[in-house]
Amino acid sequence: MDKPPTVTLVMNITFYILLSILLILWFISIICRRYRALTRNRLAVDPNLVGWPTNLELPYGLENRVIDTFPKFVYMGSDQDMDMKSMMKMTGECAVCLGAFEEKESLRLLPKCGHVFHVDCVDTWLRMHASCPFCRANLLSDSRPIDEGLSQAPPQVEVVINVDDGRDR
């Protein structure tokens, strides 16, 4: 039998060395990405934020009794008055699900920033985060403890919204 030419042997060795180097670099990049993500998560946690656990892998947001204190109302479309719309930052769609507000849907107003969302969407968000899903405003920014003032009934708020549909009347 003939021995393989030296050029073929060198090319095979070079190929396997390069393949090994690429696999090692790929493995190192995975480790680096995980380390950066872990470091970024540690830096993102504000230790003064009430409701954050010490275990970074299990973040949670507001309790249901806190969420229920935020006012909710029924959206009436373009039939509503303009009084309350000036107080709220209403975009016409929910920033959580990106669905447009439709008549007779229940919406919730976040009092700290004035943004409005579908009740189900924002309630789900607030159970996992203590911030507005649109502007990330801290909804527990005041210094009072969570339990203080929750024994009283949630405030009754009447919200009236008029959405300009672009038609001049």
- What is the SS3 string spanning 39-84? HHHHHHCCCCCCCCCCCCCCCCCCCHHHHCCCCEEECCHHHCCCCC
CB–CB of 41/56 below 8 Å? Answer: yes
Which has more confidence, 150 or 130?
A: 130
In tens, the pLDDT along 121-130 reads 999 999 888 8
| Same domain, residue pair 52 and 40 | no
Statement: residue 10 has pLDDT above 80: yes
| Same domain, residue pair 88 and 68 | yes
Statement: residue 149 has pLDDT above 50: no
Range of the domain at 122: 48-169
| Same domain, residue pair 55 and 30 | no
Q: How confident is the model at residue 76 (pLDDT cuts 50, 70, 90)?
A: confident
Number of domains in the chain: 2
Mean pLDDT score across all residues of the chain:
75
| Same domain, residue pair 16 and 99 | no
Burial class (CB within 10 angstroms; exposed 0-12, middle 13-18, buried 19+) of 122: buried
| Same domain, residue pair 90 and 161 | yes
For the chain, the distance separating the N- and C-terminal CA atoms, rounded to the nearest angstrom, is: 96
| Same domain, residue pair 28 and 63 | no
| Same domain, residue pair 39 and 52 | no
| Same domain, residue pair 28 and 57 | no
CB–CB of 101/120 below 8 Å? Answer: no
